[in-house]
């Protein structure tokens, strides 16, 4: 009982809250910077600070940083919050498995395994989120049918919803997972003392 209480206290210590606030601010800024990749999908690096927080402080702080980033994103949302909701769900699918596996045994190998597992979860989740949330939203918001969306995506060999999801959404999120994992893997070690409050 005492151990659990101490653990919760450490998670919400002043130092951790300060680091969470800084990482949230960085994530929120990165959330505004989008790189067009394919069709209407754009890459942003906002989940790198979230991963850094989850790896250094634990899964719960990581999820809190992710949630705060999404809430701040509502201030400039162009999708009535639907895009931010989708980003939170897909971000959680990446961050939760990755950080849980890494927290189990903190080695470079488990970090890579965790990031790979998180990427797979994010790919599957992204397909489901686009199928049931994003595509229906855009079809309703812009009064488009699926044929119009496929035509707008303008990707060769894509002539159905499932082809769009499997040949565009899935590979895009694979690329996103690889980029986020690679950058996190490169910068986590040098930043680790700072992230953990060590000199």
Fold of 2-195: Arp2/3 complex 21 kDa subunit ARPC3 (1.10.1760)
Token pair in block for residue 173: 């999120």
Write down the domain spans for the chain.
Answer: 2-195
pLDDT tens digit sequence for 66-98 = 999 999 999 999 898 999 999 999 999 999 999
- Tell which phi-psi region holds residue 43, choosing left (phi > 0), alpha (psi between -120 and 50) or beta: beta
What would the pLDDT profile of 130-185 be if each residue is shown by its tens digit? 999 999 999 999 899 999 999 999 998 999 999 999 999 999 999 999 999 999 99
158 within 8 A of 168, measured Cβ to Cβ: yes
Give dist(CA 108, CA 165) in Å, integer: 32
- Burial status of residue 76 (CB atoms within 10 A of its CB: 0-12, 13-18, 19 or more): exposed
Q: What is the pTM of this model?
A: 0.91
């Amino acid at each position: 009982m005492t151990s659990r209480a101490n653990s919760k206290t450490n998670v919400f210590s002043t130092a951790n809250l300060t680091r969470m606030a800084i990482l949230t601010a960085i994530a929120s800024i990165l959330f505004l910077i989008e790189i067009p990749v394919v069709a209407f999908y754009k890459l942003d690096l906002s989940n790198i600070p979230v991963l850094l927080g989850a790896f250094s402080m634990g899964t719960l702080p990581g999820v809190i940083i992710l949630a705060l980033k999404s809430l701040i994103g509502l201030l400039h949302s162009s999708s009535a919050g639907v895009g931010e909701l989708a980003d939170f769900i897909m971000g959680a699918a990446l961050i939760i498995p990755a950080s849980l596996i890494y927290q189990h045994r903190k080695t470079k190998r488990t970090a890579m395994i965790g990031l790979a597992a998180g990427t797979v979860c994010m790919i599957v989740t992204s397909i489901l989120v686009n199928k049931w949330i994003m595509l229906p939203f855009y079809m309703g918001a812009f009064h488009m049918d699926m044929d119009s969306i496929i035509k707008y995506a303008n990707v060769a060999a894509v002539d159905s919803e499932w082809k769009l999801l499997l040949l565009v959404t899935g590979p895009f999120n694979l690329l996103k997972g690889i980029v986020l994992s690679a950058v996190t893997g490169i910068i986590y070690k040098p930043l680790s003392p700072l992230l953990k409050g060590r000199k």
